Amino acid sequence: CSVLTDVDISERLETIEKLAFFECDRLERIAIPLKRDLFEFDDMLNECNQFDKCQHLTKVDLVGGIHTTVASFHMESWSNEMIAEINRINQ
């Protein structure tokens, strides 16, 4: 995943598997639907790790309806804050 920079995840997607975007070095932005249980939880590591080691991920858009942006998070670096937000959404 060395060329992916931007991802818009469909509202029809049911689950994003563990480590789905692991080490996507150039990934800068994702748009994810506000959807319960979208992220598969890694029971062994006790976390959601779909975007681990995505060093350049700086923008996450939470979308609802027909891709109407309802929130946008700008982050200086990928950190535990994103994992906490994903876990909060999945509750």
Question: Residue 44 above 70 pLDDT?
Answer: yes
Percentage of the chain lying above the pLDDT 70 cut: 82
Q: In what order do the strands lie in the sheet with 59-64?
A: 6-8, 29-33, 59-64, 68-74
Question: Residue 26 above 90 pLDDT?
Answer: yes
Residue 80, H or E segment: helix 80-90
Cα(55)–Cα(28) distance, integer angstroms:
8
Q: Could you tell me the pLDDT band of residue 89, with boundaries at 50, 70 and 90?
A: confident
Give me the pLDDT at residue 77, please.
44
Q: Where are the beta strands (DSSP E) in 1-91?
A: 6-8, 29-33, 59-64, 68-74
Cα(58)–Cα(20) distance, integer angstroms:
17
Mean pLDDT of the chain: 81
Question: Residue 76 above 80 pLDDT?
Answer: no
